[in-house]
Amino acid sequence: MLRILENIQLKPYNTFGISAIARELVEIRSKEDAVELVKSGQFKGKLHLVLGGGSNVLFTADFDGLVINILNKGIHRVEETEDTVLVEAAAGEVWHDLVMWTVNHGLGGLENLSLIPGSVGAGPVQNIGAYGVELKDCFHSLNAIDLVSGNDRAFSKEECRFGYRDSIFKRELKGRMLIYSVTFRLSKVPMLKLGYGAIKQELEAMSVNKPTIADVSKAVCSIRISKLPDPAVTGNAGSFFKNPVVSAGKAEDLKKQYPEIPVYPQPDGTVKLAAGWLIEHCGWKGYRESDAGIHPKQALVLVNYGNASGLDIISLAGKIQNSVLEKFGVRLEMEVNVA
């Protein structure tokens, strides 16, 4: 029997550590719980929010609806070929626990995504990425329950329409699917991706010349720990903005004016810029306004030093967006989901 909890403080449920009260909250510990919730009609017509690890959400007000907290667990092998293994993980697993499981089983593919905060089920929604790898690179399929029809649905990679920190679950199907498991195709033969500069340097610093999957994971963890704030200590949701994509002409103009600006040409001819660099060069790095601030080591990460409200964070974000637009003529789009 599912229990609907009332008037729940969401501060422990979001890595930003923002206070907000949910009118109702239900914990989903199995697929059966999810089916029961849909069948009960409990939330029909009610505002609802599917919450995993709460690592990419910013609450700007109390939530006058039902928060569905996904907590199911389990990781197992589904099938094997000579070179690859399909691994299915429950949506409620902690993302980094899954990465460690794959590393400990010698399965390659997710090691560059070590230590990303959040749950497995939230991974495909954002198409999480780091150090030259995105979740979509190893994604096989996922299973979800349609919260409107109650039907089970499987999604292939194509059906998820993955983009840069983007998927169909942030667009047409926003709030409609309760993802309960995700399946990855992992490699028995390690194909390490070390192209991202900092990884090689970190491996050198570790005196590793023939890296294993575990070494790469360790290197990524230590880079992240050195640059990014630990949400258990300082509230944050990782990168607050997406890295903006501009036309080649615009990038060329900026390069003329700021020769040291980092630019990442994309396969379609557009150019990705580093939002962290733009924000730092507007003078925001380390800035603090009561308990809302910009991390002193990574300008793309907004932080809550304790009692900032979601509106404090949004107000600071707006000032950053305005100054980047004014100085560089570039619009920054939020990566974090505002609730």
Count CA within 13 A, CB hemisphere, residue 63.
31
Residue 258: CB minimum distance to ligand EPU, A? 11
The reply to whether 134 sits near ligand EPU by the rule CB under 6 A is: no
Q: Which tokens belong to 298?
A: 């990574």
The reply to whether 285 sits near ligand EPU by the rule CB under 6 A is: yes
Segment contacting ligand EPU by CB under 6 A, of 30-38, 57-65, 247-255, 297-305: 297-305
Residue 228: CB minimum distance to ligand EPU, A? 6
SS (H, E, C) 258-269: CCCCCEEECCCC
Listed residue (242, 310, 279, 288) closest to 60, CA to CA: 310
Segment contacting ligand EPU by CB under 6 A, of 69-77, 179-187, 208-216, 294-302: 294-302
Residue among 16, 63, 277, 328 that touches ligand EPU (CB under 6 A): 277
Respond yes or no: is residue 239 known to be catalytic: yes
- In whole angstroms, what is the distance from residue 131 CA to residue 203 CA? 13
Helices (H), 110-261: 122-126, 157-160, 197-205, 213-227, 248-257
- In whole angstroms, what is the distance from residue 109 CA to residue 128 CA? 13
Residue 325: CB minimum distance to ligand EPU, A? 17
Are 143 and 154 in contact by the 8 Å Cβ rule? The answer is yes
DSSP for 90-120, please give it: ETTSBHHHHHHHHHHTT-BSSGGGTT--SBT
Burial degree of 306 (CB within 10 A; 0-12, 13-18, 19+): exposed
Segment contacting ligand EPU by CB under 6 A, of 94-102, 181-189, 248-256, 296-304: 296-304
Determine the 3-state secondary structure of 124 from DSSP.
Answer: helix
The reply to whether 15 sits near ligand EPU by the rule CB under 6 A is: no
Respond yes or no: is residue 156 known to be catalytic: no
Which one, 16 or 180, has the nearer CB to ligand EPU?
16
Which one, 217 or 239, has the nearer CB to ligand EPU?
239
Are 309 and 59 in contact by the 8 Å Cβ rule? The answer is no
Respond yes or no: is residue 335 known to be catalytic: yes
Q: Residue 102 is which amino acid?
A: T
Which one, 24 or 134, has the nearer CB to ligand EPU?
134
- In whole angstroms, what is the distance from residue 43 CA to residue 39 CA? 10
Contact characters 90-129, ligand EPU, x per CB under 6 A: ----------------------------------------
The reply to whether 280 sits near ligand EPU by the rule CB under 6 A is: yes
Which one, 166 or 253, has the nearer CB to ligand EPU?
166
The reply to whether 143 sits near ligand EPU by the rule CB under 6 A is: no
Residues that bind ligand EPU (CB under 6 A): 130-131, 238-239, 242-243, 262, 274, 276-277, 280, 285, 298-300, 335
Active-site residue list: 165, 239, 335
